[in-house]
A = this chain, B = another copy of it.
């Protein structure tokens, strides 16, 4: 059988890891693919990664199009990152009849529909296991393992940076800013951590999982995101006291009114398995109609874990190079004509229970005023904690309220009225999920 020839674009962390892993486990990889698979060519800005490797006869180029236009190449592995150049490379490679493997979540979440349509027309595969939750084979689990199910809910801890920060805040009662600095020193957070902290990275991944789960087009701009930078040590502490951990959760749900897709800090019961996924680890919990709850846990980033997913995709694609495209697993689990445009809910239309941390003057009657406003909006209360003032330097004290489920619209209306009270300084609202 003719060896499968792979060209790789980008030799950063994941690109370097992919080259190393292909060299390290060559025999296993060939045996599992049932044929010889080799990286023959790589393009990057500089050649330092390849120069450090022994026995590496990968041809190097600084021009990605040397690979994309090379008629010998069967599979182009796009590990450049970013959207503009990556998109150009992927579309051109598809036009040149190359299959694609990519780890690029931003590219798939924002341009996936266009890319998959071209691949479909050309009878080619675009594989993207590494784009979601790093090395965890979650795309395969959802698309193939759970193919007999209607998926109801996805709840994922799919950003290692924010999970590390929230874990450390809970463990050691350290404030956000200080843990962020530690994360940056350890290399768990970028110098500019905005993409992670604000939930954009997680939203890219959630968008991809949501499309596969619910058979809908990729609609990244409709995923709601809320960062973790407003979570205080106080919130983490109160949550624990009430039996919850705060996690930066990516949630997609199928509801009667439409699909909910959101990334935000979330209180989850601390005895749930997913609440104990700590540090930089990732996990995705899926609730499906036949299987019930299942969970997939592992390293969501890193050189070799992400390369594990990239190389698994290379093996899958290699094995099916000569397969009738109709016999391959469709990109979003369904053939394109079966993808349906379902309504994505606005956050005001979702239903949730809430944790409220309201900073109030420590005066008689304050709790009565606030709970009266909640009652007016028919919001039931699950628990109230008012901290005594002795450890508080400010004149305002935190009033903690857990509510039962209510449509977010009514919660926001109530909070607008509550902030109008002259005894109230500010509030923090965090959604809760029982999972």
Query: Chain A interface (Cβ within 8 Å of chain B)?
Result: 1, 21, 24-25, 28-29, 31-34, 129, 135-137, 140-141, 144-150, 215, 273, 276-277, 288-299, 302, 304-305, 307-312, 314-316, 319-324, 326-330, 333-335, 338
Contact = CB atoms under 8 A, between A and B. Distances in A.
Given A31-B334, A333-B32, A290 B304 contact: yes
Given A21-B148, A34-B326, 11 more contacts: A32-B147, A32-B333, A33-B147, A34-B327, A146-B312, A148-B314, A276-B276, A294-B298, A297-B297, A319-B327, A319-B329
Which of A29, A33, A295, A309 lies at the interface centre, i.e. has the most chain B CB atoms within 10 A of its CB?
A: A295
A391 to B, nearest CB: 29
Nearest to A316: B144
A25 B308 contact: no
A329 B315 CA distance: 10
A151 to B, nearest CB: 10
A322 B327 contact: yes
B146 A308 contact: yes
Contacts of A290: 21, 24-25, 135, 304-305, 307-308, 311
Contact of A31 (B215, B291, B297): B215
Contacts of A31: 215, 334-335, 338
Contacts of A33: 147
Nearest to A28: B150
Given A276-B276, A312-B148, A136 B307 contact: no
Contacts of A135: 290-292, 294
What 3 A-B pairs have minimum CB-CB distances, sorted nearest first? A137-B145, A294-B298, A148-B311
B312 A292 contact: no
A190 B33 CA distance: 41
Q: How many copies does the complex hold?
A: 2
Which of A24, A148, A322 lies at the interface centre, i.e. has the most chain B CB atoms within 10 A of its CB?
A: A148
A309 B292 CA distance: 12
Which of A141, A150, A315, A328 lies at the interface centre, i.e. has the most chain B CB atoms within 10 A of its CB?
A: A141
Given A277-B273, A295-B298, A335-B34, A25 B145 contact: no
Nearest to A34: B335
A298 B305 contact: no
A293 B289 contact: no
A141 B137 contact: yes
A294 B309 CA distance: 12
Contact of A276 (B24, B144, B273, B316): B273
A342 to B, nearest CB: 14
Contacts of A310: 148
B289 A294 contact: no
Given A135-B291, A141-B141, A338-B31, A307 B273 contact: no
A352 B144 CA distance: 37
A305 B290 CA distance: 5
Given A137-B146, A315-B148, A304 B291 contact: yes
Contacts of A294: 135-136, 296-299
